[in-house]
Amino acid sequence: MAEETAIVTATSDSSLLLGRAGCPVWLNPERFLIPDFNADACVADLRRYVPLATLQNELSNYLATLKTKLVEVINEDYADYVGLSGRLANVEGSVVRMRKPLLELRDKLHAVQEAVRSELNSLNQGLRKRKEVATQRALLELILEVSHVAAKVDKLLEELAASDKSTSTAPAAPTPALGAASGVASAADSNGSGSGPSDVELLAQCRLLERVAAEVSRLAFLANKGKDLAFVRSLEPRITAHRAALRGRLSTALALALTPAPAADGSPASPSSCPRSITAALHALHAAADLGEAATAEAVVRSVVVAPLVERQVGEHKARGHSSVPVGGAGSGAASGNALSALLGSILAAIRAQLGPLLDASLAPGSALRSIDLLSNAVLDEVQGALAAAMPGVFSPGVPPAFHANYLTTLAWLRQLEGMCATRGSVERLRSSAAYASLMRRWNTSVYFSMLYQEIAGELEDALSADKLEPAAASAGSGVGLFASMASPQLAATVALLRCLRRAVSPDIVLPPLTDRFLRLALQLAQRYATWVSAATTARREAVAAVAAGAVAGAGTATVGGPVTPPPVQGAGSGAAGSPGSGGGAGPSGSAAWAPILPADELFAVVSDTLVAHEALLGPVTAAFLELLPPTSTPSYPAANDTEAAPNGDGAVAESTADAAATAVRSALAEAAAAVQASGRGLAAVVTEEVVERCAAAVRQLKGITATYRVTSKAPPTRASHYVSGVLMPLRQLLDAEPVKLLHPALRQELVTLPVAESVCARYAALAEELLVSVRKTESSLKRLKKAKGGAGGEEDPAAGLSDSDKITLQLHLDVEELVVQLRQLMVPQDTAPELQLPSLRRLKEVVAPPPGMLP
């Protein structure tokens, strides 16, 4: 109870303080004290209860009340505020007592700060002096080291010169000439004595050269480090002279080490003999790598070993009767490719035999010889240059089979060269070398593709440009090769298409860099075939329309129930537009001239062949192109101590790229196949329209039912009319044609039976409804007329009590039931109700449904 009293008291005090006592009920001042108070929301809320003018007046009154309360609160404590300064006694004395120790502390801190700053400056000066001394000492040590290394190089060069003199003055058997191919070595030996060093002396000389090269490289590094020093700049001429002298000695020593050794009996060395000293050659190569003379070493290896070897192999190849210019004809491509493969294989085998250790040393992971690229600059460059000079016909695209075989042989040989590489970096360096690019530029693949494009596309164009539709030869089917599992086409044009597609995807024709171009060629072939079928469809539709227009004008008549063949657009008396005898324009000509004059069943041979082409594009052609795409797997290389190893994500990126390429190929070929299929379905639609017109001609005979039962007092019908048996006769004739029978039953029903039946039933329903409406209107008019004359109310059958309209309706009902029976016989499966697949048939049955109670 006490708590409630306190709450009420507090509430009343708050209300008194806020001035709530004079506020209306709907205005709560405590709402203004909410932390997230929103004036707009408050005004919008209060507008629902009071107008804005009233709200403004109340708020103004409340503001005045608050101001009054504020003045009252200030006046209540004003006396205490005024007396505040009087109660603060002896404050200044306390401030004076606290100021003195604070000032003393500040003076001490300033003194300590000055002492620390002076010590810091002293330390910084000492560090700067130490740094200057260390720099001067480092420069002095660098000068001493440069001087020491320079003296060491001079001493080693003196030892090298002394060894050369001892070698040249030592008695030795005369060394035979090394031949024209080893001119460098011969020049080294022609110093007046005609004798060369022994193997031991040569090895020692190469080791000494390697040591000197290492010191010269070290001297060059130190000189570059101290290039701003005057002493080091004064040594630059000596360093340059040392490098020049050492370069010449390296070339001579490397040439001597690579020159084949003479036989034991003193006879000249065999050209196919191994180099004199592989160990000495390796030391010389290390010296060249240390000296930065990779180009010099590569040139020596190329001129001393590779050039004579390639020249000898090419000469032997040509001596065996292999022509440099391939001759066309069957088997010329394979023969040319085998000959080139044998030549390149022998060259590579000889190079492996003579330079195998050197190549392995230069290609090993982390090798000191990795700066020397013997594989590209010595081997590949020499081989491609020799082939271009001695056998230019190898690169000629004049004979496509030979060009194809030679190209693939060269690629296989390049893969063998890449197989010698131990790291991915070595492979990439080989592929990015100038020799590799020069070799690939010699293959004019654009000319090769242009020749095949004209040949393949020209063959299809010739087949599609014929003015008549040729059937396929008995031995020209697709039952061999790529399309062995498919049905044989019926037309020569389709056989030509499949033959061109087979060539466009054949591995014996397609080159790896031209895969995209041959894919584009296949797409163009498919599109050209689809355009050919579409042109036939257009010509057929225009011819039928011209004949129909002539028939409406009275120039021609249509035979009801005749064969399923449109009236040919020809003859001077027909008067049809576009016929040769009319003045309205020229008759059909060109690749679609056969379309207007062929019977409908023969046109379905074209439709059937479009399905064969569609299947070929989606199946064998797509599979063949996917096989032509580059593989997703990448070779693995040792990664130990190899900074050039492949990143972990390269495999995933390659696989993703390959998947994207495969998806693009499938999508492009599927689009082309869909275009071919759509063109065939368009032609089938034109043929079915013609069949519908012939069926509709028989349906129009239902108008004779009116004359049968109008004012004849004829008994009600009990069976269908005779014309019903001829309604679906054109459709039945078309389905019995041989080209249509070749279609799958489900596809035959989809393309022929259902479209014709749907259209015929729609026409039937429209004519029946028109007839019944007319009959009923006439009967109603007659009833009104008789009633006006006082006669009977209408004409009714005395036996059955049926009117004429009822009899006509019953007859139409019986006719439609007979039509349903015929449709059930034509549809697959036959036990399926036609009404389930033909909406127009359901509509027709609704139109001719007799009144309730008329049927037994």
Dihedral pair phi/psi, residue 638, rounded to 5°: -65, 135
Rounded Cα–Cα distance for residues 292 and 290 (Å): 6
Extract the tokens encoding 40. 């707009």
Rounded Cα–Cα distance for residues 856 and 447 (Å): 83
Nearest to 801 by CA among 790, 792, 812, 789: 792
Cis peptide before 171 (omega within 30 of 0): no
Torsion of CA 642, 644, 648, 653, to 10 degrees: -160
Residue 175 confidence (pLDDT): 34
Extract the tokens encoding 448. 């090769």
795: left (phi over 0), alpha (psi -120 to 50) or beta: beta
Rounded Cα–Cα distance for residues 269 and 176 (Å): 9
Q: In which residue ranges of the chain is CATH 1.10.357 found?
A: 449-633+650-688
Gyration radius from the chain CA atoms:
53
- Look at residue 370 and give its three-state secondary structure: coil
Nearest to 29 by CA among 41, 15, 49, 39: 15
> DSSP for 524-571?
HHHHHHHHHHHHHHHHHHHHHHHHHHHHHTTS----TT--S-PPPS--
Instruction: Give the residues across from 275 on adjacent strands.
Output: 260
Nearest to 522 by CA among 534, 506, 536: 506
Dihedral pair phi/psi, residue 667, rounded to 5°: -65, -45
Residue 270 confidence (pLDDT): 59
Domain 449-633+650-688 has what CATH class? mainly alpha
Torsion of CA 662, 668, 673, 679, to 10 degrees: 170
Dihedral pair phi/psi, residue 276, rounded to 5°: -65, -45
Nearest to 205 by CA among 240, 170, 256, 154: 256
Rounded Cα–Cα distance for residues 415 and 417 (Å): 5
* Ranges under pLDDT 70 in the chain: 1-22, 84-90, 164-196, 261-273, 321-334, 336-337, 474-481, 551-591, 632-654, 711-712, 790-801, 830-831, 853, 855-856
The residue type of 510 is V
Rounded Cα–Cα distance for residues 547 and 554 (Å): 11
* Length of the chain counted residue by residue: 856
> Is 577:585 a contact under the CB 8 Å cutoff?
yes
Extract the tokens encoding 312. 């000898």
Q: Which residue has the tokens 């081989």?
A: 383
Please work out, in degrees rounded to the nearest 5, the angle formed at the alpha carbon of residue 696 by the alpha carbons of 694 and 701: 110
Rounded Cα–Cα distance for residues 350 and 545 (Å): 77
Nearest to 673 by CA among 538, 458, 522: 522
pTM of the shown model: 0.70
Could you say which DSSP state residue 725 is in?
A: G
Rounded Cα–Cα distance for residues 646 and 637 (Å): 8
Q: Output helix, strand, coil percentages for the chain, rounded to the nearest 5.
A: 70, 0, 30
Extract the tokens encoding 548. 């129909």
Nearest to 533 by CA among 735, 668, 686: 686
- Look at residue 264 and give its three-state secondary structure: coil
Nearest to 796 by CA among 788, 787, 785, 807: 807
- The burial class, CB within 10 Å (0-12 / 13-18 / 19+), for 16 is exposed
- Look at residue 275 and give its three-state secondary structure: strand
Rounded Cα–Cα distance for residues 656 and 693 (Å): 55
Question: What residues contact 318, with CB distance under 8 A and at least 6 apart?
Answer: 324, 390, 391
CA–CA distances in Å: residue 677 to residues 12, 125, 487, 522:
92, 92, 16, 16
